[in-house]
Structure 1
Amino acid sequence: MRKTTLLLPILVIAVVTFLSSIFVVDEREKALVLQFGQIRAVKEEPGLAFKIPIIQEVVRYDDRILSLDTETIEVTPSDDRRLVVDAFARYRISDVVQFRQAVGVGGLRAAEDRLSSILNSQIREVLGADQVTSDTILSEDRRDLMTRIRDQSRREARSLGLDVVDVRLKQTNLPAQNLEATFARMRAEREREAADEIARGNEAAQRVRALADRTVTETLSVANRDANVVRGEADAERNAIFAEAFGADEEFFAFYRSLQAYENALTGSNSQMVMTPDSQFFDYFKNETAGAGRN
């Protein structure tokens, strides 16, 4: 009975000691076995692992790709137009031993603080480089800039045991105090462009009007010339007919011309004339042979 009483606590202690020496490494993490702060083992494969109870401890680190949002900073490109920029990065712990040696007990929080400083430093360096303007940053060329930021940050982050997978710029805006001035400059540029377009339009309209006026003048000139030609030909034909009629019957021609004279003299309200009764104008009102007697 005494043996059973003694063995039971020993068995419990043995079971507890055995269980405390076992730990499980998840497939999403890596683990370090520390003894008095010194690294004794690295567990990167998932499964069961062992440690010395009480003396050794296990520190776990996430093996997945993590994200980090940087603080908003101001950068000054080569054209001296300041921009407000922030970014986010994707990273993972590539070397847990180096990571532990670099950040110590600070863990992931200390690592992210140092990585954020590295990213901000590289953002300022790349975006502030020569021949990098604000237009370049705001255009599709920013993809190349983000690649440069990622590569340079990756080289520096290796000392922390980190691998920078990707870096993306989220916000690239003008500072609030510069927005109004920028909008005013953009408005002035658009107004200048509009004035140039209006001036070019007026110039084109004047050319069109001048061409139209010249075309009208030329058309009228040709029409008047053709009309004068037709009129001259008609007058010549008329005179030829008159001459032919006069030659065929001089008396009838004289009679016809007198009728025309009467018609022209007595048009409208002008129906009164003062002249002597023996005027030749009234020869054909006197008798039917007046014209023959005159001859």
Structure 2
Amino acid sequence: MKKSTLLLPIAFVAVIAVLSSVFIVDERQKALVLQFGRVIDVKEDPGLAFKIPLIQEVVRYDDRILSRDIDPLEVTPLDDRRLVVDAFARYRIADVRQFRQAVGVGGTRSAEDRLDRVIRAATREVLGSVSSNDILSSDRFALMLRIRNSAISEASNLGLEIIDVRLKRTDLPEQNLDATFSRMRAEREREAADEIARGEEAAQRVRAQADRTVVELVSDANRQSEIVRGEADAERNNIFAEAYGADQEFFEFYRSLSAYSRALQGRNSTMVLSPDSEFFNYLRQAERP
């Protein structure tokens, strides 16, 4: 009985000691085994690992690719046109031993603050060596690659590997927006005025050409109509001449009837003529028995 009573605490302590000496390394993590703050071992492979209870401790770090948004910073390109740049970086912890030595107990938060300073310095250096048009152009991949390459060496001293650096937004400072918008508006208004002037000039040319064409067409139509009218009059005169030559009396009678028809129109036509006028020759003949 006394043996059993003694063995139970010993077994319990042994189980606790075994459990305390075993730890699991996740496939998404890397682990450091520390003894009194000094790195004893690095566990990068997932699975079970062991440590000395109470004396050693385990610190885990994320082994995945991490993202870090950089606070917007103001840069001054070669043309002194200030810009506000918003960027982000993708990185991973490549060397956990060096990472622990560089950041100490501050961990990931301290590393990210130092990474921010590295990225900001590289961004100012690279973007300060080009013009604002190069920064604002759609092809900025080369600039982002230069920023990444410039920050790699500094980041490696922290045990970090920079995977990529991207420029999300590139804007003008707030105090420069109104002046820039006013200048852009003035340029667009000038371009619009030039387009309107060119349009009015083209319209005047088209209108003048149309007026000239109308005059030419009307003149040609009048000329053609006069020719046709002249030919018709000539044909009519020929017909009258032939008719006059065939029967002079009938021709005179026909011309008189035509004159009566044109002169005496309606029911209340009035004419003031001498009674012995030749105009009434055929009328007087009609009154005779």
Distance 1:58 1:281, change over 3 A: closer
Distance 1:44 1:265, change over 3 A: closer
Match of 1:293 in 2: none
Distance 1:30 1:113, change over 3 A: same
Tell me the TM-score normalised to structure 2 length. 0.81
CA offset at residue 53 of structure 1? 3.9
Q: Which runs of 5+ in 2 are unaligned?
A: none
Q: Find the aligned partners of 1:40 and 1:140 in 2 and give their Cα distance.
A: 50
Identify the match of residue 237 of structure 2 among 236, 239, 244: 239
Q: Does 1:224 align with 2:232?
A: no
Q: Deviations over 1:4-40 (max 9, x none)?
A: 8877766665555554443332222212223343322
Q: Find the aligned partners of 1:202 and 1:215 in 2 and give their Cα distance.
A: 20
**1:1-295 → structure 2 map (5 Å cutoff):** 16-133=16-133, 136-260=134-258, 271-275=270-274, 277-287=275-285
Q: Find the aligned partners of 1:171 and 1:131 in 2 and give their Cα distance.
A: 16
Q: Find the aligned partners of 1:131 and 1:176 in 2 and give their Cα distance.
A: 20
CA offset at residue 175 of structure 1? 2.6
CA offset at residue 158 of structure 1? 1.3
Distance 1:11 1:272, change over 3 A: closer
Secondary structure of the structure 1 residue equivalent to 2:154: helix
Whichever residue aligns with residue 272 of structure 2, its letter is: M
CA offset at residue 94 of structure 1? 0.5
Distance 1:153 1:131, change over 3 A: same
Distance 1:42 1:279, change over 3 A: closer
Q: Find the aligned partners of 1:2 and 1:259 in 2 and give their Cα distance.
A: 166
Tell me the TM-score normalised to structure 1 length. 0.80
Whichever residue aligns with residue 68 of structure 1, its letter is: R
Whichever residue aligns with residue 129 of structure 1, its letter is: S
Conservation of the 8 A alpha-carbon contact between 2:64 and 2:92 = yes
CA offset at residue 71 of structure 1? 0.9
Secondary structure of the structure 2 residue equivalent to 1:157: helix
Whichever residue aligns with residue 183 of structure 2, its letter is: R
CA offset at residue 91 of structure 1? 1.2
Match of 1:291 in 2: none
Conservation of the 8 A alpha-carbon contact between 2:81 and 2:132 = no
Report the more deviating stretch, 92-101 or 248-257: 248-257
CA offset at residue 248 of structure 1? 1.7
CA offset at residue 109 of structure 1? 1.4
Whichever residue aligns with residue 148 of structure 2, its letter is: R
Q: Deviations over 1:127-167 (max 9, x none)?
A: 3332442xx54553234433333333333311211111222
Distance 1:258 1:101, change over 3 A: same
Conservation of the 8 A alpha-carbon contact between 2:84 and 2:172 = yes
CA offset at residue 116 of structure 1? 0.7
Secondary structure of the structure 2 residue equivalent to 1:71: strand
Q: Deviations over 1:189-245 (max 9, x none)?
A: 333333333333333332332232222222212211211111111011011112112
Percent of aligned pairs with the same residue? 68
Secondary structure of the structure 2 residue equivalent to 1:146: helix
Distance 1:130 1:84, change over 3 A: closer
Distance 1:256 1:107, change over 3 A: same
Provide the aligned C-alpha RMSD in A.
3.3
Whichever residue aligns with residue 123 of structure 1, its letter is: T
When the two structures are aligned, how many residues end up with a matched partner? Answer: 286
